[in-house]
Structure 1
Amino acid sequence: MPKKHLYLDLYENLKRQIIEGQYQSDDKFPSKRALSQHLSVSNTTIEHAYQYLLDEGYIYSKPRSGYFVSDIETLPIINKNNTQTGQKFTTENSYTRKKDFKYAFNVSEIDTEYFPMQQFRKYARDVFDDNQMNLLQHANPDGDWSLRQEIAHYLFNSRGVSCHPEQIIIGSSTEQLINLLTEILNNEQFNIENPSYPPIKQVLDKKQISYLQVPVTKTGIDLSYVNKSQNNITYVTPSHQFPTGYVMNLKKRTQLINWAHQNEARYIIEDDYDSEFRYFGKPIPALQSLDTHDKVIYMSTFSKSLFPSCRIAYLVLPKKLLQQYKNIDNKEGNTVPTHMQKIVANFMKSGSFERHLNKMRKVYKNKLTLITEKLKKYEDQLQIDGALAGMHFTLTIINDLSLEDCLKNAENNNLKITPFSLYDHNASTVKFILGFGGIPYDQLEAHTDALIKTLCK
């Protein structure tokens, strides 16, 4: 493996040894210095490999004692037979949690400074009022009706998605809803983007459902692979592909819908996870709004538009699949607390949600503009992609710095950046995925300066 991927190779090998039982719970791990000398690799390589094991819970540290193997019984289930999907990701994985870095471009953080907490608190008080005792009873497993109504109104007005509230199913996460969809679709085989949003592979691997990984181009998923595939389900993130940030153009959206129309069993899953935030150019309509044959399953979440801990996601089922959903026996119940669903419904009904989105769209656009304007001065060394929408973009390093060089510089500058190779193990370029949403505006310049100092010569 090329040197720039050495830390990933080490991370995978150590993780595999833990999973396969070569270490027992609470076994002491080699010190970074000892392992560095033993393998004749840099301390930086060991540092980053250990950090990923720490972040994913495979090992833990004790002050002044070193590193130890976590409780084997609590480790995540891994499909050992699939080396392509050996890495475990969750929606609350290492790259979304801020560590002890002075500067950090975390991918899944929002700006909490502008959240209308006072208004949200008011709606929380209202739903816990004495006359709301009915909310203490068992909830509708499909989701609170008032929330589903508000989501239907919002989707029609903002994304052109036409649906009845009955078609909307509430869940606690994208993973939960994808898991549900595999049951509705009778475990049909998938086409998924490569690189892709990690939870989709996680669910399919766990359920041992086959899938084809389809390359992503700057205009979206490569349809030549989809057209040749025998798989009937295609999962895409067209509004701001994760992790590349590319936007699927209108022509390809139409072609993908035509693909679905050619066979009764075909469906498109459209994950529109951060479509609220498009900053430049005319908004591109949702795939679902372009479809005339009920072949698009639409899904999204409130993690970016509200806050991650609200744990509310939703999907819009085509009417043809609604009955199949209702016919599933013993399906997993809705795990989102009824009170939280009601709070969000009232927040949306009052118009506060739309006002909040409008404000945050300006906030994030200003942040992105500040960062990219500073980076453009170094366009001979840095290539920016995926900066038209969403809350992350990518930087490709086009000077002669290696990944190891960049990570060592980042460590020296107390900067946390996520290598693109964590999502695409076959990445041939030195590339990083950078989230900017959670960085306070008054700290953006310092963060960007640290980034430039790290990645430029």
Structure 2
Amino acid sequence: MKSGVRKGRNVIGYDMAQRNGLGKRAYLCERIRSDIAAGVLAPGEKLPSRRVLADLLDVSSSTVEETYRQLVAEGCVEVRERSGHFVSWTPLAARVRVDAAKPWEHEALEGAVGDRRCGGGSAERAGEAGSSRGAGPAAVAACRFDLTGARGAPGAFPLDAWAKALRQTLSRESAADLLAPAPARGCLRLREQISRFVRQTRGIDASPDRIVVASGAQTLYSLVIQLLGRQGTWAVENPGYPRLSSIYRAHGVQLSQAPLDDEGVSVDWLYASEARVAHLMPSHHYPTGAVTSASRRYELLAWASRSEDRYLVEDDYDCEFRLSKGALPPLAGLDAAGRVLYVNTFSKTMGPSFRLAYLVLPPALSDAFDEKLGFYSSTVSTIESIAFARFMEEGHFERHVRRMRKAGRDVRDALAARLQSGPFRQARIRNEDNGLGFLLELPASAVSSGQSLSQMARSNGVAVRTLDQFYAHGGPDRLARARRTIVVDYSALAQADVDAVVAALEQAVFS
């Protein structure tokens, strides 16, 4: 079957048999996106209608419709009323084509996105945010309800399936495999499963030899520092994850706090700051829940491509819990220049006590990892690694995530409905579709007590944190608004407790 685009005939022909495990929509998105980036599909060119493309590729019209919707969300395609779908004229992927071997020598970037210098959670995250502000683990544990994410969801851990995987690992795997020393990157069998997982769910095409497994994201942060070196300035988001800043400072890294605007981290600020590494959460920023726009993602990749020493660390800590369709691809899935290190953890899906995370290295840093850090032994035991690989191989992990996502959606809907039916109806719920949490911004008139909202809520048995607790610094107006904005993490909340927790909050805030 044909591959690519047959120019002038308004037809795209791709071999759907070559999907290599990708879903039909994901594969079609990937192929059209790559043709746009390569210039095969020119700006302004009309794409086939849904019916024509569905007939040509022998897929359903809904598959094509979802594909086009995703590409529109990314900014690669635009819709013209009564005319159809067209390749976007905006300077996104098609204009951000860099020489992957030496992207810092590619001068065309200046015209691609504009010279920005001229201006034209998880339990770990929750625990650190409050530890220095009187809302540490002990204070959270003393509360009946937890809206900080510091606890695991009751009954959410798949104990039976995990116990089965452990039993089968111990009884069926050879002693030689179970007792073999784990290499620095971790167990190959588990890395093979993670490679398949990130390709199918996040569109990241990474071979197992580019993946590093470790005992939690904190361990990976330490490895990233050692791999990239401590020199220069590293940027972290403000507001952001306080523990991340603490870890970097403990390793002697000089930090700078990057401000956010409506589209993500300010690229103007990055150029002005002379940062060489930026640690970002573009797909679900913690704590605001905001999503970095498609255009800003390409601008960030362009910034990183301008110097051989610049990198982006992409933290995708809860990618499994997007509650809306049309999620934007991660930076690592768009990175043609090899400037993105992708970090993710299983602690959000499996529970806070499940210490397992992984790092996807860009190709050029894979050899550097062996040279600099290959002397380490893996921090994850071989037995646990094989057991989790088996857990994934047999489909238990995917089923578990589907159950948690459905449960999360049900709790979110019940919580939002209950909040909007009582005294909180004047409050504003923000970013509720991007993960297991949202921001609840109260009107200024609702906060008149000298106590903080978190203190008032704890006095009524609800552990919460407010947005100001995540700022390193900020202007008085911004901080005043942040002090009346609750960062709601409902990952540990049962649907049956929604009425009780909202009633407790109402009593704390409005009585």
TM-score above 0.5, yes or no? yes
C-alpha deviation, 1:368, in angstroms: 1.0
Q: Is the 8 A contact 1:88 1:202 kept in 2?
A: no
Q: 2:432 aligns with which of 380, 383, 387?
A: 387
C-alpha deviation, 1:384, in angstroms: 2.0
**Structure 2: where are the runs of 5+ without partners?**
1-126, 474-478
Q: Is the 8 A contact 1:95 1:106 kept in 2?
A: no
1:196 is aligned to 2:235: no
Q: Secondary structure at the match of 1:428?
A: helix
C-alpha deviation, 1:256, in angstroms: 0.7
- What is the CA–CA distance in structure 1 between the aligned matches of 2:298 and 2:219, rounded to whole Å? 28
| Residue in structure 1 matched with residue 42 of structure 2 by the alignment | none
Deviation string, structure 1 residues 360-383 (Cα, Å, up to 9, x no partner): 111101111111122234566422
Change over 3 Å in CA distance of 1:330–1:394 after alignment to 2: same
| Residue in structure 1 matched with residue 222 of structure 2 by the alignment | 179
Q: Is the 8 A contact 1:399 1:456 kept in 2?
A: no
TM-score, normalised to structure 2's length?
A: 0.68
| Residue in structure 2 matched with residue 415 of structure 1 by the alignment | 462
Change over 3 Å in CA distance of 1:281–1:106 after alignment to 2: same
Q: Secondary structure at the match of 1:452?
A: helix
1:442 is aligned to 2:496: yes
1:424 is aligned to 2:468: no
C-alpha deviation, 1:342, in angstroms: 1.1
C-alpha deviation, 1:315, in angstroms: 0.3
Q: 1:283 aligns with which of 327, 336, 356?
A: 327
TM-score, normalised to structure 1's length?
A: 0.76
| Residue in structure 2 matched with residue 119 of structure 1 by the alignment | 161
Change over 3 Å in CA distance of 1:95–1:243 after alignment to 2: farther
Q: Secondary structure at the match of 1:304?
A: helix
**Structure 1: where are the runs of 5+ without partners?**
1-54, 57-84
Q: Secondary structure at the match of 1:333?
A: coil
Q: Is the 8 A contact 2:131 2:137 kept in 1?
A: no
| Residue in structure 2 matched with residue 375 of structure 1 by the alignment | 419
Spell out the pairing of 1:46-125 with structure 2 (5 A cutoff): 94-95=136-137, 98-125=140-167
Q: Secondary structure at the match of 1:366?
A: helix
1:229 is aligned to 2:273: yes
Bigger CA drift: 261-270 or 152-161?
A: 261-270
C-alpha deviation, 1:155, in angstroms: 0.2
Change over 3 Å in CA distance of 1:455–1:331 after alignment to 2: farther
Change over 3 Å in CA distance of 1:277–1:131 after alignment to 2: closer
| Residue in structure 2 matched with residue 454 of structure 1 by the alignment | 508
Deviation string, structure 1 residues 267-293 (Cα, Å, up to 9, x no partner): 111000001111124111111111111
Deviation string, structure 1 residues 176-225 (Cα, Å, up to 9, x no partner): 11111111112242111011222321122112211221112332212221
Q: Is the 8 A contact 2:438 2:487 kept in 1?
A: yes
| Residue in structure 2 matched with residue 156 of structure 1 by the alignment | 199
| Residue in structure 1 matched with residue 360 of structure 2 by the alignment | 316
- What is the CA–CA distance in structure 1 between the aligned matches of 2:463 and 2:234, rounded to whole Å? 34
C-alpha deviation, 1:95, in angstroms: 5.0
Q: Secondary structure at the match of 2:212?
A: strand
Change over 3 Å in CA distance of 1:373–1:219 after alignment to 2: farther
Bigger CA drift: 301-310 or 445-454?
A: 445-454
C-alpha deviation, 1:124, in angstroms: 0.4
Deviation string, structure 1 residues 427-457 (Cα, Å, up to 9, x no partner): 3322222211111221122112222332346
Deviation string, structure 1 residues 333-382 (Cα, Å, up to 9, x no partner): 32222211111111111111111111211110111111112223456642
Deviation string, structure 1 residues 106-127 (Cα, Å, up to 9, x no partner): 3243434244322221110011
| Residue in structure 1 matched with residue 187 of structure 2 by the alignment | 144
Q: Percent identity?
A: 26
- What is the CA–CA distance in structure 2 between the aligned matches of 1:451 and 1:366, rounded to whole Å? 20
